[in-house]
């Protein structure tokens, strides 16, 4: 039985969710010389589900290498990635406020998917064991006026968020319907993550 895991994510929401579920975590964040952002580049013609799974696996590989490079005690490593998709169009983190406003205008009055891939790496002496899962949810936005969008972007909340919004924040006021995993939309699906932790014999609760 593993008493704790490493969380290789800078998302405070993921850490908060794991702690709520009774999982002991230690952060395993990239070194300054690591180019973590380059892992999230979309390949030409890549479908959203393939993209989010691939990026999560790349994050996990880099994290397991980081664990060994730092000579830390071996324990499971959890990685996740969330993307927003409008059809086959992948809406990542906004480059700036103008980009965030364009994204929110595209989502206004429409339904889109939120895909979160989760991967758990269990390091071994000779080989690593990898478990993964994918959560797909649907989110419907009501109509947002240009003024609504400008005021929301001005709060700063959309920056650093896939799809330029956070469902647990001010954006909830315009979300008329969701179908799927609320925690998955936040960035870490409870059901799928719990299944991986059980399969890896991680203590929870």
Give yes or no for a contact between 22 and 1, defined as CB atoms under 8 angstroms apart. no
Q: Please count the other Cβ atoms lying within 10 Å of the Cβ belonging to residue 158.
A: 26
Pairwise CA distance, residues 71 & 58, whole Å:
20
Q: Active-site residue numbers?
A: 81
Buried b / exposed e across 119-137, counting CB within 10 Å, b at 16+?
Answer: bbbbbeeeebebbbbbbbb
Buried b / exposed e across 59-92, counting CB within 10 Å, b at 16+?
Answer: bbbbbbebbeeeeeebbbbbbbbbbbbbeeebbb
């Amino acid at each position: 039985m593993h008493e704790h895991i490493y969380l290789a994510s800078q998302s405070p929401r993921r850490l908060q969710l794991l702690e709520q579920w009774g999982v002991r975590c230690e952060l395993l964040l990239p070194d300054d010389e690591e180019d973590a952002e380059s892992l999230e580049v979309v390949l030409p013609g890549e479908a959203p589900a393939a993209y989010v799974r691939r990026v999560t696996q790349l994050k996990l590989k880099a994290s397991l290498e980081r664990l060994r490079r730092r000579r830390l005690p071996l324990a499971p490593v959890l990685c996740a990635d969330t993307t927003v998709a409008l059809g086959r169009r992948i809406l990542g983190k906004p480059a700036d406020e103008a980009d965030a406003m364009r994204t929110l205008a595209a989502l206004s009055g429409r339904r889109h998917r939120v895909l979160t891939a989760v991967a758990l790496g269990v390091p071994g002496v000779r080989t690593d064991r990898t478990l993964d899962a994918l959560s797909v949810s649907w989110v419907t936005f009501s109509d947002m006026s240009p003024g609504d969008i400008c005021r929301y972007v001005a709060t700063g909340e959309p920056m650093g968020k896939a799809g330029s919004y956070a469902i647990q924040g001010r954006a909830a006021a315009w979300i008329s319907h969701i179908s799927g995993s609320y925690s998955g939309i936040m960035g870490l699906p409870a059901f799928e993550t719990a299944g991986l932790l059980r399969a890896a014999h991680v203590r929870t609760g």
